[in-house]
Copies of this chain bind each other. A is one copy, B any other.
Amino acid sequence: MRDLTEKTISSEVIYEGHILTLRKDKVKLPDDHISFREVVEHPGAVGVVAVNDKNEVLMVCQYRKPVEEMLWEIPAGKLDKNEEPLVCAKRELEEETGYKANQWEKIFSFYTTPGFSNERMHMFFCEDLVEGHVHPDEDEFVEAKWFSYEGLMEKVQQGEVRDGKTIVGLLAVRDKIAGRKNSR
């Protein structure tokens, strides 16, 4: 494999915002030509596939301003500064849905959009859920609901569930869901 590293010559912060920072890097390409890369810096995030004893998955619906739509998604959220992903996953699940879970498992981590952002998403599976109280962030409005896993897979195929991390999480736990079904 050739080394295709793009070396940074200079870097300019264009915008430092509430959630994200936009940066423009001047880079040297593998053929020594000069180019520019726009980079959205993101603190990283977690996604949570929470499954109950009926193999239903806990979903939240919220308005997503960038796409001007209400979307059904798995519970998720951004990492606070220096926050461990598992701690964040537990916090976001409780904030958005009121639920706590007794069993947690890391699925894997991935980059959501490495072409223009450094956001890294840590995906978790949890079960043995206990209901509690919802307390979302003050500018966050969410509704939570359980859906059958099979029904959600159909919604993915039909484009009704169309959030990337949610599709990754749902598809990634397929064998796990099948295994639970057979063991009951």
Contact = CB atoms under 8 A, between A and B. Distances in A.
Contacts of A146: none
Bin the interface of chain A by size. Answer: 35 or more
Main secondary structure of the interface of A (DSSP, over half): mixed
A71 B111 contact: yes
A138 B29 CA distance: 10
A65 B113 CA distance: 11
B111 A159 contact: no
Interface in A140-176: 141, 143, 156-159, 162-165, 167-168, 171-172, 174
Given A42-B116, A66-B118, A67-B111, 12 more contacts: A1-B70, A2-B143, A5-B63, A17-B38, A18-B36, A66-B115, A66-B116, A109-B159, A110-B162, A111-B163, A164-B164, A171-B171
